[in-house]
């Protein structure tokens, strides 16, 4: 191979990575923007009382969505390892059934807890099992590295949840009707996703898979039902539950400081901390596509360590830009949101740094799911408890809470990274 051929390979691999990451980022951003935009008409058309119930039920809906996040990761991992898509779709149906049972049992307790109508609460929890079925299709696309198709499905899912709900609200519908319309939209997105997965043998989709396969240096996982590879056993619901606790601790780590600030600080400082936390959330969510695109390589024994290192390198590179941007934009804070938030403007870069470190920690936790060693998420659970303890004894101001959280999260990330780089998939 001459010099020109040798340099063409990494250039081509970089283009494929950027194309996949760009497609997933675009789909995720459209879904997230749609989710945020839903709150604008809802707050205006439902009024304070109705919107309060609507927002509370949407938060409850996030809890029943946790199993779907874990399911997608497990499906993608097992597809890479040679389990047939037919077996993985069967797993998705079993998990969906379990979530349906739990959601049905939770309707009345959640209704009493949130003081919301039973039918509206049921409409909020109904999408739980459907999201699991949708996540199965997304996992099949992710495991096969069909990232352009995955990006399209993510956008469809976001639109399916939001557009029907907004239409119902515009027509004068209430909380329960709007949530029911969103559930129908999610079901429609799942049906469309199934068609996209089934069309994996088409010329356009197979071209996308081939590109990704070349990037990974191996054949992409199957995109249509077929027999599992010899000696490969199909995963059970327990594997999804194990991955679910990893997703759960990550969600908790991204919110614990804000909850503690609300409890420990004065109302004014808690509000300032909440504004700074927006920068942390943005820095955390912005590079989500990096982990999604590199996850199949993490599940491949031959590429695990390289994929983890690549993910961390890209995340730190993006993070450096985000932190610098936050520092540059800091003087605009009082201009945009008022002088009351001036004290937090100088800390905006530190909030962004916290989000960056959390994104790296998430990459390491994804690696534990990819290696099927989710017990190592105990490191993150210990970090969560330690964060609460350290913040409790930290100075009761914005700087104290932020500094304590950042220190503990950095230590947790270093330990998790050390473990992730030592372990290879079985």
pLDDT tens string 144-197: 888 889 989 999 998 999 999 999 999 988 989 999 999 999 999 999 999 998
401 closest CA partner among 266, 258, 283: 258
Given a cut of 60, is residue 305 above it in pLDDT? yes
Highest mean pLDDT among 33-42, 46-55, 361-370: 361-370
Q: Which residue has the higher pLDDT, 137 or 208?
A: 137
Helices 118-125 and 175-198 cross at an angle (nearest 10°) of: 20
Given a cut of 50, is residue 43 above it in pLDDT? yes
Average pLDDT over residues 398-425: 87
Given a cut of 50, is residue 216 above it in pLDDT? no
Average pLDDT over residues 60-81: 88
pLDDT tier at 209 (50, 70, 90 boundaries)? Answer: very low
If 0-12 CB within 10 Å is exposed, 13-18 middle and 19+ buried, where does residue 94 land?
A: middle
Q: Is the dihedral of CA 191, 185, 54, 39 positive or negative?
A: positive
If 0-12 CB within 10 Å is exposed, 13-18 middle and 19+ buried, where does residue 92 land?
A: buried
Output the pTM of the full model: 0.77
Q: What gap in Å lies between CA 70 and CA 139, rounded to an integer?
A: 10
pLDDT tens string 13-39: 666 666 766 778 787 778 777 777 787
Count of other CB atoms within 10 angstroms of residue 421: 15
Tokens 């105990």 label which residue? 378
DSSP state of 218: S
Q: Which residue has the higher pLDDT, 51 or 228?
A: 51
Q: What is the pLDDT of residue 261?
A: 84
φ, ψ at 91 (rounded to 5°): -60, -45
Apex 205 CA angle, 203 and 211, nearest 5 = 100
Joined together, the tokens standing for residue 372 give 């099927």
DSSP state of 115: T
């Amino acid at each position: 191979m001459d010099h020109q051929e040798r340099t063409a390979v990494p250039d081509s691999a970089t283009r494929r990575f950027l194309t996949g990451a760009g497609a997933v980022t675009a789909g995720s951003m459209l879904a997230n923007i749609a989710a945020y935009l839903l709150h604008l008409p809802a707050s205006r058309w439902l009024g304070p009382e109705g919107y309060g119930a609507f927002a509370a039920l949407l938060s409850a809906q996030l809890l029943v969505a946790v199993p779907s996040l874990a399911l997608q990761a497990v499906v993608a991992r097992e597809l890479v390892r040679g389990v047939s898509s037919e077996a993985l779709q069967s797993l998705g149906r079993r998990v969906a059934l379990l979530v349906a049972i739990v959601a049905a049992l939770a309707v009345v307790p959640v209704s009493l807890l949130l003081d919301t109508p039973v039918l509206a609460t049921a409409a909020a929890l109904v999408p739980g099992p459907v999201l699991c079925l949708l996540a199965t299709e997304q996992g099949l696309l992710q495991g096969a590295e069909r990232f352009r198709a995955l990006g399209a499905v993510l956008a469809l899912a976001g639109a399916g949840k939001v557009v029907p709900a907004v239409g119902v609200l515009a027509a004068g519908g209430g909380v329960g009707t709007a949530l029911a319309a969103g559930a129908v939209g999610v079901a429609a997105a799942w049906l469309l996703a199934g068609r996209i997965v089934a069309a994996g043998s088409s010329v356009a989709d197979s071209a996308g898979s081939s590109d990704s396969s070349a990037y990974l240096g191996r054949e992409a996982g199957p995109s249509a039902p077929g027999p599992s590879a010899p000696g490969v056993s199909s995963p059970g619901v327990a594997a999804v539950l194990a991955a679910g606790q990893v997703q759960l601790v990550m969600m908790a780590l991204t919110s614990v400081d804000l909850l503690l600030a609300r409890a420990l600080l004065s109302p004014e400082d808690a509000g300032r901390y909440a504004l700074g936390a927006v920068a942390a959330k943005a820095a955390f969510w912005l590079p989500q596509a990096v982990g999604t695109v590199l996850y199949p390589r993490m599940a491949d024994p031959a590429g695990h360590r390289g994929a983890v290192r690549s993910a961390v390198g890209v995340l730190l590179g993006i993070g450096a830009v985000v932190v610098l941007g936050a520092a540059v934009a800091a003087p605009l804070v009082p201009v945009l949101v008022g002088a009351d938030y001036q004290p937090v403007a100088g800390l905006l870069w530190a909030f962004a740094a916290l989000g960056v470190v959390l994104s790296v920690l998430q990459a390491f936790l994804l690696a534990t799911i990819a290696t099927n060693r989710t017990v190592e998420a105990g490191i993150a659970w210990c970090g969560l408890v330690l964060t609460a303890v350290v913040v409790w004894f930290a100075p009761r101001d914005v700087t104290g809470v932020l500094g304590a959280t950042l220190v503990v999260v950095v230590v947790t990330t270093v330990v998790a990274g050390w473990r992730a780089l030592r372990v290879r998939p079985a």
